């Protein structure tokens, strides 16, 4: 937390009126300030901002879909390898059993294949035959068990074969999802970059200011709700470690699908941060939202993860004082910004417990 406080203070991210944090601390528009010389040009630039935001939002949605498919591909590959080893061991066991059954069949053939009753009637020494009847019975039971085992193993192999086919089909389906998401990400990012490339240098500066002003308004609206008056919890020991890791990544580039150590996407950053805090959490923001314990916004504490947008496609780590650290989008770096700059879906706690599951609803 000391590390986070230093970063917040040095970069001038703490608001003077509310004590809230916001990246670059843009100033709200001054009342009575003169309107831009060309309102139509300002509107055009704002339209460009909205289009670029929408494209990057779609790219982020595709990124989380890519991350989910990639995780499933890796999991299914491991399952297929494990299943292949099981099939190989079962086939070797079946070969051994077949050999044993064959040996029993050969022994029966050499014995004439007569049933036990016929051998009793024809035996020159019936007493001797009866002495061996118990051993013969044990042999029959052993043969039945052997055949039963062979039948079961044959069934297991068929089941494993169907399972392997199913896993391969799911693997291929997820590979296609991953490839489609990858193409979609590239398409959206290229389109956003193309829009930005058409702007002159001055317009790009104005575009950045427009982004900051919009984020400032959203943050201020969130703060005006009085939410910080209710949030006063402190970070847990694992949470402090996670915060320390996350804030140490500030300035590193956002790269979709990246989990560090040099680049990150939004959920890749929270994954590694909480791994540093001693907790294993899901890879994607959607699964973090689905699997981790929920907490009410008023009960939020530093280290908790704030999930954004109705589709849970973005995540940031709460630092306290109304701020989060997150990996925003392509073309940006890991940074600190206001927790209310995006629509909040809810809050999850990686080191929480299941009793909080319904707290946020």
Measured between alpha carbons, how far is 336 from 321 in angstroms, rounded to an integer? 11
SS3 letters across the chain: CHHHHHHHHHCCCECCCCCCECCCCCCCCCCCCCCCCCHHHHHHHHHHHHHHHHHHHHHHHHHHHHHHHHHHHHHHHHHHHHHHHHHHHHHHHHHHHHHHHHHHHHHHHHCCCCCHHHHHHHCCCHHHHHHHHHHHHHHHHHHHHHHHHHHHHHHHHHHHHHHHHHHHHHHHHHHHHHHHHHHHHHHHHHHHHHHHHCCCHHHHHHHHHHHHHHHHHHHHHHHHCCHHHHCCCCCCHHHHHHHHHHHHCCCCEECCCCECCCCECHHHHHHHHHHHCCCCCCCCHHHHHHHCCEECHHHCCCCCEEEECCCCCEEEEEEECCEEEECCCCCCECEEEECCCCCEEEEECCCCCHHHCCCCC
Could you list the active site residues?
266, 314, 326
- Residues 301 and 275: beta-carbon distance below 8 Å: no
């Amino acid at each position: 937390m000391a590390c986070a406080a230093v970063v917040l203070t040095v970069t001038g991210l703490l608001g003077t009126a509310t004590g809230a944090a916001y990246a670059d601390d843009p100033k709200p528009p001054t009342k009575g300030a003169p309107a831009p010389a060309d309102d139509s040009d300002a509107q055009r630039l704002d339209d460009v901002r909205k289009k670029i935001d929408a494209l990057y939002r779609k790219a982020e949605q595709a990124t989380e879909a890519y991350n989910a498919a990639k995780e499933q591909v890796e999991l299914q590959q491991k399952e297929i390898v494990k299943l292949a080893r099981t099939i190989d061991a079962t086939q070797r066991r079946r070969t051994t059993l077949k050999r044993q059954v064959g040996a029993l069949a050969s022994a029966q053939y050499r014995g004439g294949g007569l049933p036990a009753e016929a051998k009793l009637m024809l035996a020159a020494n019936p007493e001797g035959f009866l002495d061996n009847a118990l051993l013969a019975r044990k042999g029959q039971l052993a043969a039945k068990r052997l055949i039963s085992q062979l039948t079961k193993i044959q069934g297991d192999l068929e089941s494993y074969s169907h399972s392997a086919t199913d896993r391969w089909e799911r693997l291929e389906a997820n590979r296609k999802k991953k490839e489609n998401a990858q193409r979609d990400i590239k398409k959206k990012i290229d389109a956003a970059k193309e829009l930005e490339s058409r702007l002159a240098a001055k317009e790009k500066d104005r575009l950045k200011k427009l982004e900051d002003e919009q984020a400032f308004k959203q943050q201020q609206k969130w703060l005006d709700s009085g939410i910080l008056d209710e949030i006063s919890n402190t970070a847990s020991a694992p949470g402090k470690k996670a915060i320390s890791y996350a804030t140490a990544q500030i300035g590193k580039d956002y790269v979709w699908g990246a989990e560090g150590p040099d680049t990150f996407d939004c959920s890749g950053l929270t994954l590694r941060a909480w791994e540093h805090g001693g907790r294993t959490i899901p890879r994607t923001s959607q699964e973090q939202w689905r699997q981790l314990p929920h907490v009410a916004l008023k009960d939020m504490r530093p280290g908790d993860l704030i999930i954004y947008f109705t589709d849970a496609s973005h995540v940031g780590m709460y630092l306290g004082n109304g701020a989060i650290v997150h990996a925003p989008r392509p073309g940006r770096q890991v940074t600190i910004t206001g927790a209310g700059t995006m629509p909040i879906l809810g809050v999850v706690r990686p080191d929480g417990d299941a009793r909080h599951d319904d707290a946020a609803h």
